[in-house]
Structures are given as C-alpha cells and as structure tokens.
C-alpha cells in the first residue's frame, strides 16, 4: 500500500525483463510516470528495459512515451514530467537465454552505485512469458548480488504456474535461489484501490462486522466480466482458459478479502496468514460434484455492441476445435464458523455484455408480516454492492417508505462513490504495486503457500474438465451473459446473477 506519508525511498535500480513488451508499454511505464508526477520515486532511480529487440536508449524512450500518451491515467504536463523521467530510462539488448549476459546487470548496478555514491536497491521485474521465468530466475539467482536479501527483489508476473504441480516446482526453484521476502508474486487485482478498500470497509467500520456472517448473509457473488475477446493473446490464452486466467488468482483473492477474519495488524505476513486460512477452508469439490459446482463456456461468432466478432475458435492462435473455456462460473463454500453453508458464486468471461467487476453481498430478508401486502410488492432484501471497476463505489440497498399518504416501500440505495468523493484520482494498481516492491512491503503480493492453496481450490475442476472435453462448445453468443447453465448454477439455489 502506498505509505501515508511521501516517505523517501532508497536509491533503486529497476530491471524490466520484457521491457520491449506490452505490459511495460501499457502498465509499468505509465505507472512509473505517474509515480514521478507524485514525487514518489527517489532522485537516484534508474529503470532498464531488457529485450532482444533493437532499440537505442533514445528510440526506447520514444516508444515508451507513446505508451504514456496512450495509456497513462494522467497526461497533464506531459512534456515537463517526461523530461524529468526520461533520462532515468535506458535499454539493454539482451537474450535472456544467454547466461553470459547477466554479468552486465551486475556491472550496471556497480556503475550506478559509484555514480550515486551509495548502495542501491535492485529490483528484477520479470514481465515475460512464464516459460522464460525459470531460466531468468536461475541466471539471476547465480549473481552474487542476489545474495543481498535485504535490498534485492524479484517480481514475478502471473500466471504463476500452469497448475498445482508447476506452481510448486516454480516455488521450489525460486525458494532455492531467493529468500521468500525477496520474491514478489504479482496479482494486480490486489493493487486495485477498491479491492484494498474491502478491508477498510469491513474492519474500520463497526457497522458491518456483526452482520458479516452466515446468520445474516444469504450469498456472495463476485463477477468479473469483460467485453473484449482475445486481443491477440491467443498463444497464451489457449493454454490457460478463464478458470486459470481469472478465477485461480484474481477472483479467489477478492473472495479472500470478503471472507477473511480481521487481521491483528497490517503486516504482510499477518494479512497473508488470514487470507490463506480462507483458501484452506474452502470445501474441496469432489470429482463427481464438478458438474454441480462449475460451469464452463466458450463464445461463438456474432455481434457485440453492433460490431461483428469472430468466435473464439476463429481467433489467431486458437485451435479450430479448441476446448478452452472463455467463461467460467463456480460455486464454493468456505467451511468455517463464519461462513458455513453460505454459497460464494464466482463468474468471469470474455465477450460478455459489459466490462465490470463487482461484488454483491445479499443479506437475508427482514420479516415483512407487519406491512400491508401492497407495501411489500417491491420488497427486496438488503444488498451491499462493492464496485471494483469501472464503477468504483459501494452501494447499500435499503427499503424506504415512498413519500405519500399510503404505506408503500421502495428499494433505494445509499452510495459512496470514489468519483464524487475523491474526484477520480485513484492510483492504478501497478503504481501501488511497484511502489510496494520498492518500499519492500509484500502485503499485496502472493506468498508461495497462497498461490498453491489457490491452485488446490481449482484443481478438481481443472482435472474434471480436462478429462471430459465439452460437447457443446461454442455455447454462448458474444454479448450474452454466458451459457444458460451458469444461470442454472445459481437458479437451482433460488438465486439469480446480479450485476445491476
């Protein structure tokens, strides 16, 4: 989390493997640029992009400036701030598979330390495809400078492993090369303001905690829907699918924020211990239960918002008979004192009608016997909606008396909106996360056991789906809310999906 005060950071060298890639262009450089505007970066700061592509420092900076123009949340005073930031950027052409090239990184750090006259923190950010991670980590781990547990950190992007086995292998590899406190496994949802705010809402207000349990809550729904299709990421997505891409990481982390017990303090390990307890408490789905607890879908061709779209199987990099799911909905139970038998429904998908991530917490209905029948026609139970994005808000639905001489009731909402309250100036997730890596705060990052516990939750579903290829793919139209079976998943419990 960004420190309450504009605390001074130590001198830092940040290496970005995948400097020439999309993540750096869209997210990392715009985030660093915004941290520059806010004066969070230390005076002695250097960022080095790495890749095989041919750039000079100058052409690399030009490319990144384009990225800032296109993707930064703020562009005001662009020339002035860019001139302040650009000299800190350089490019190093290097094939990550060439183990002899890594000495150059150590030389670069020594040169900066000599120039600055001080020791520097060193961060290696691995913004590369997952298959490159073991090799890069091994070469870095062999550098003597990485023995400095205090000041050298490695950041690993998602996906963290392809399944439980490969996640364990990667954890074992990283654990043999680095101390756990040096390893920062990114889940960018944890950097979102609205996700962090769940803990503030729950534990900085006395109002909610007494009713935040099975006695008062009917169910929890977490939806992360996207209108986009593959956006050229077929090569990655085809081997992943919605369950691995979104639920194993982002949505389970959001579930943990909703379900966790109160931490005693906000130390990284305390918060992560409490969250991993939730993952351990999730009821294991037995193979014969998978069809009752999980639904998968894949979009076909068709129009979305007036635009004709190819089906998933027609996208580049996708097999014509692909069994990869672009939609997944699952039902989970958290078997502990607080949550016994409260269903948690999670769903995500591509080519859906809207881009939204929202949590709906539905409370049990109040008894209505005292009110006349006419008054209860629109009776709705209380519901807390936590808008993660694009709407960043919290809405509490209550019943109100409609003004007039008759006793009629309407459901109405009490709203807290970031836009009205904070003028929409929230930092992007990557700003928060990069700053956290620089300050050495791992609270919002995944610990090895958390990643593995999350894989354990989805493993039975992944196994069952792999064993039985879907017979009905493609089974939803672009612009719809996924396959009909997803409605039945909640419908058979007497509920329906809620986005509005």
Ligand X SMILES: NC(=O)C1=CN([C@@H]2O[C@H](COP(=O)(O)OP(=O)(O)OC[C@H]3O[C@@H](n4cnc5c(N)ncnc54)[C@H](OP(=O)(O)O)[C@@H]3O)[C@@H](O)[C@H]2O)C=CC1
Ligand Y SMILES: O=C1O[C@H](COP(=O)(O)O)[C@@H](O)[C@H](O)[C@H]1O
Cβ closer to ligand Y: 231 or 335? 231
Among 1, 10, 26, 380, binds ligand X (CB under 6 A): 26
Among 30, 67, 130, 311, binds ligand X (CB under 6 A): 130
Judge contact between 121 and 10, C-beta under 8 A: yes
How big, in percent rounded to 5, are the helix, strand and coil portions of the chain? 40, 20, 40
226 binds, among ligand X, ligand Y, none (CB under 5 to 8 A by kind): ligand Y
Q: Kindly list the catalytic residues.
A: 250
How many CB atoms are closer than 10 A to CB 5?
6
Judge contact between 25 and 89, C-beta under 8 A: no
List the interface residues with ligand X, window 155-184 (CB under 6 A): 157-159
Q: Any known ligand binding at 119?
A: no
97 binds, among ligand Y, ligand X, none (CB under 5 to 8 A by kind): ligand X
Q: Nearest-CA neighbor of 70 among 113, 27, 111?
A: 27
Taking the complex as a whole, how short is the minimal distance between the CB of residue 85 and ligand X, in angstroms? Answer: 20
How many CB atoms are closer than 10 A to CB 26?
15
383 binds, among ligand Y, ligand X, none (CB under 5 to 8 A by kind): none
What span, in angstroms and rounded, lies between the C-alpha atoms of 268 and 442? 5
477 binds, among ligand X, ligand Y, none (CB under 5 to 8 A by kind): none
Q: Any known ligand binding at 158?
A: yes
Which H/E stretch holds residue 329? strand 327-333
Q: Any known ligand binding at 350?
A: yes
Among 7, 52, 99, 401, binds ligand X (CB under 6 A): 52
Q: What is the 3-state secondary structure (H, E, C) of 98-144?
A: CHHHHHHHHHHHHHHHHHHCCCCEEEEEECCCHHHHHHHHHHHHCCH
Judge contact between 492 and 483, C-beta under 8 A: no
What span, in angstroms and rounded, lies between the C-alpha atoms of 404 and 412? 16
Cβ closer to ligand X: 27 or 88? 27
Cβ closer to ligand X: 245 or 325? 245
Q: Any known ligand binding at 401?
A: no
Candidates 21-29, 312-320, 429-437, 475-483 — which segment interacts with ligand X by CB under 6 A? 21-29
What span, in angstroms and rounded, lies between the C-alpha atoms of 347 and 328? 6
Name the residues that contact ligand X, by CB under 6 A. Answer: 18-23, 26-27, 51-53, 95-97, 127-130, 132, 157-159
Q: Provide the annotated binding site for substrate.
A: 188, 192, 226, 245, 350, 355
Q: Provide the annotated binding site.
A: 52, 158, 188, 192, 226, 245, 350, 355
Q: Provide the annotated binding site for NADP(+).
A: 52, 158
């Amino acid at each position: 989390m960004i420190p309450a005060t504009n605390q001074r950071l130590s001198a830092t060298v940040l290496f970005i493997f995948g400097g020439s890639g999309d993540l750096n262009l869209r997210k990392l450089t715009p985030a660093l640029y915004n941290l520059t505007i806010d004066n969070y970066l230390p005076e002695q700061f250097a960022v080095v992009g790495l890749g095989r592509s041919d750039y000079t420092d100058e052409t690399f900076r030009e490319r990144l400036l384009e990225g800032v123009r296109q993707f930064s949340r703020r562009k005001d005073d662009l020339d002035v701030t860019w001139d302040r930031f650009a000299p800190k950027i350089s490019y190093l052409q290097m094939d990550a598979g060439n183990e002899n090239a890594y000495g150059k990184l150590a030389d670069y750090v020594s040169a900066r330390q000599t120039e600055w006259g001080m020791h520097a923190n060193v961060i290696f950010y691995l913004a590369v495809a997952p298959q490159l991670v073991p090799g890069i980590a091994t070469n870095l781990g062999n550098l003597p400078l990485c023995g400095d547990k205090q000041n050298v950190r490695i950041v690993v992007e998602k996906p963290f492993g392809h399944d439980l086995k490969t996640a364990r292998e990667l954890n074992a590899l990283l654990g043999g090369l680095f101390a756990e406190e040096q390893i920062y496994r990114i889940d960018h949802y944890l950097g979102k303001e609205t996700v962090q705010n769940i803990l503030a809402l729950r534990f900085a207000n006395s109002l909610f905690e007494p009713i935040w349990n099975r006695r008062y809550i009917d169910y929890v729904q977490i939806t992360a829907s996207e209108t986009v299709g593959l956006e050229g990421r077929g090569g990655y997505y085809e081997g992943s699918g919605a369950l691995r891409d979104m639920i194993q990481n982002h949505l389970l982390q959001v579930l943990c924020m909703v379900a966790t017990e109160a931490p005693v303090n906000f130390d990284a390990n305390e918060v992560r211990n409490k969250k991993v307890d939730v993952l351990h408490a999730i009821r294991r789905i037995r193979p014969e239960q998978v069809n009752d607890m999980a639904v998968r879908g894949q979009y076909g061709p068709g129009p979305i918002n007036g635009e004709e779209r190819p089906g998933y199987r027609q996208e580049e990099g996708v097999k014509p008979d692909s069994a990869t799911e672009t939609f997944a909905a699952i039902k989970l139970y958290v078997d502990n004192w607080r949550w016994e038998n409260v269903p948690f429904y999670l769903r995500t998908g591509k080519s859906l009608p809207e881009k939204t991530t929202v949590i709906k917490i539905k409370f049990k209905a109040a008894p209505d016997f005292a009110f006349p029948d006419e008054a209860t026609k629109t009776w709705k139970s209380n519901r807390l909606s936590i808008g993660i994005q694009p709407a960043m808000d919290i809405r509490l639905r209550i019943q109100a008396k409609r003004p007039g001489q008759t006793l009629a009731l309407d459901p109405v909402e009490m709203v807290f909106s970031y836009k009205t309250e904070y003028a929409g100036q929230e930092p992007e997730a990557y700003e928060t996360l990069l700053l956290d890596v620089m300050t050495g705060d791992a609270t919002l990052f995944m610990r090895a056991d958390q990643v593995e516990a999350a894989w354990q939750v989805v493993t039975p579903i992944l196994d069952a789906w792999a064993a039985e290829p879907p017979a009905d793919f493609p089974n939803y139209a672009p612009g719809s809310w996924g396959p009909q079976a997803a409605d039945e998943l909640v419908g058979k419990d007497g509920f329906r999906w809620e986005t509005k």
